[in-house]
Amino acid sequence: MKKAIIFFGIALLTLSGIALVAQSKIEIPLRFDRYYTYDEVNQALVALNKAYPKLTKLELVGHSDEGREIWSITVNNPDTGSEQDKPGVYVDGNIHGNEVQASEVCLYFLNYILTEYGKLDRVTQTVDRSVIYCIPTVNVDGRYHWFADANSSGSGRGLRIPKDDDRDGLVDEDPAEDLDADGFITQMRIRDTLGDFKTDPKDARLMVRVEKGEKGEFRQLGIEGIDNDNDGRVNEDEPGFIDPNRNFPYNWQPNYVQNGAGSYPLEGKGLKAIADYLYARKNILVAWAFHNSGGMILRGPTSKTAQEYDRRDIEVFDYLGKHSEKMIPGYNYLISWKDLYTTWGDFGDFTDDVVGSFTLVGELFQSNTESYRADTTKPAALDERSTERIKFNDYLTNGAMYSNWKPYKHPLYGNIEIGGWSKFNSRLPQPFMLMDLVHRNAMAIFVSAFNLPQISLDVFEQEKIGDNLYRIKVRLSNSKAVSSITYQSVRIKIHPMDYLKLDGKNIKVIAGGPVTDLFRNEANYKQYKPEIQFFQIPSYGQVEYQFLISGKGKVKLLYHSEKATDRVKEIEL
Residues 234 and 273 in one domain: no
Which of these, 220, 223, 235, lies nearest to 180 by C-alpha position? 223
Residues 73 and 29 in one domain: yes
Residue type, 342: T
Q: What is the pLDDT of residues 438-458, one digit of tens each?
A: 999 999 999 999 999 999 999
Q: What is the pLDDT of residues 306-342, one digit of tens each?
A: 999 999 999 999 999 999 999 999 999 999 999 999 9
Any idea what DSSP says for residue 546?
E
Max Cα distance, the chain (Å): 102
Distance (Å, whole) CA 136 – CA 367: 23
In a domain, 157, yes or no: no
Residues 223 and 309 in one domain: no
Residue type, 172: D
Distance (Å, whole) CA 324 – CA 331: 8
HEC profile of 149-218: CCCCCCCCCCECCCCCCCCCCCCCCECCCCCCCCCCCCEEEEECCCCCEEECCCCCCCEEECCCCCCCCE
- Return the pLDDT at 165: 87
In a domain, 153, yes or no: no
Which of these, 76, 448, 490, lies nearest to 286 by C-alpha position? 448
**pLDDT of residue 195 exceeding 60:** yes
- Return the pLDDT at 2: 39
Any idea what DSSP says for residue 431?
G
Read off φ and ψ for residue 101, nearest 5 degrees: -65, -15
Any idea what DSSP says for residue 402?
E
Residues 196 and 233 in one domain: yes
Residues 461 and 531 in one domain: yes
Residues 535 and 481 in one domain: yes
Distance (Å, whole) CA 194 – CA 284: 58
**Lowest mean pLDDT across 154-168, 247-261, 276-290, 441-455:** 154-168
Residues 42 and 92 in one domain: yes
Are 98 and 155 in contact, with CB atoms under 8 Å apart? yes
Read off φ and ψ for residue 22, nearest 5 degrees: -120, 125
Which of these, 32, 27, 25, lies nearest to 10 by C-alpha position? 25
Angle at 84 between CA 80 and CA 88, to 5 degrees: 85
Read off φ and ψ for residue 360, nearest 5 degrees: -125, 140
What percent of the chain lies above the pLDDT cut of 70?
96
Residues 190 and 286 in one domain: no
**pLDDT of residue 16 exceeding 60:** no
Residues 259 and 296 in one domain: yes
Mean pLDDT, residues 164-188: 92
E runs forming strands in 224-355: 284-292, 296-299, 332-335
Q: What are the DSSP calls for 273-307, one per residue? A: HHHHHHHT-TTEEEEEEEEESSSEEEES--STTSP
In a domain, 211, yes or no: yes
For the chain, counts of helices (H) and of strands (E): 10, 27
Residue 24: pLDDT band with limits 50, 70, 90? low
Read off φ and ψ for residue 190, nearest 5 degrees: -135, 145
Residues 223 and 268 in one domain: no
- Return the pLDDT at 19: 39
Mean pLDDT, residues 295-313: 95
Assign residue 541 the CATH number of its domain: 2.60.40.10
Collect all residues with Cβ–Cβ distance below 8 Å to 454 and sequence separation of at least 6.
Answer: 129, 478, 479, 480, 565
Which of these, 166, 71, 67, lies nearest to 110 by C-alpha position? 71
Mean pLDDT, residues 407-417: 97
Collect all residues with Cβ–Cβ distance below 8 Å to 276 and sequence separation of at least 6.
Answer: 62
Domain count of the fold of the chain: 3
Give the strand pairing for 469-478 and 4-7.
unpaired
Which of these, 460, 480, 475, lies nearest to 535 by C-alpha position? 475
Name the strand (E) or helix (H) holding 347. helix 347-350
Half-sphere exposure (CA, 13 Å, Cβ side) for 190? 13
**Lowest mean pLDDT across 166-170, 414-418, 522-526:** 166-170
Name the strand (E) or helix (H) holding 513. strand 507-517
Mean pLDDT, residues 140-160: 94
- Return the pLDDT at 377: 81
- Return the pLDDT at 162: 92
Half-sphere exposure (CA, 13 Å, Cβ side) for 519? 0
Q: CB 283: neighbour CB atoms within 10 A?
A: 24
Distance (Å, whole) CA 99 – CA 437: 14
Distance (Å, whole) CA 7 – CA 47: 9
In a domain, 156, yes or no: no
Residues 116 and 137 in one domain: yes
The b-or-e profile of 475-504 (16+ CB within 10 A means b, else e) is: bbbbebbbbbbbbbbbeeeebebbebebeb
Distance (Å, whole) CA 348 – CA 360: 7
What percent of the chain lies above the pLDDT cut of 90?
88
Higher pLDDT, 399 or 22: 399
Distance (Å, whole) CA 244 – CA 258: 12
- Return the pLDDT at 324: 97
- Return the pLDDT at 572: 95
Which of these, 465, 455, 446, lies nearest to 541 by C-alpha position? 455
Q: What is the pLDDT of residues 335-385, one digit of tens each?
A: 999 999 999 999 999 999 999 999 999 999 999 899 999 988 887 887 888
Residues 347 and 303 in one domain: yes
Mean pLDDT, residues 27-31: 95
In a domain, 96, yes or no: yes
Name the strand (E) or helix (H) holding 44. helix 38-51
Assign residue 282 the CATH number of its domain: 3.40.630.10
Are 470 and 462 in contact, with CB atoms under 8 Å apart? yes
**pLDDT of residue 544 exceeding 80:** yes
In a domain, 155, yes or no: no
In a domain, 443, yes or no: yes
Residue type, 345: G
Specify the pTM: 0.94
Query: By residue range, what is the domain housing residue 507?
Result: 455-572
In a domain, 158, yes or no: no
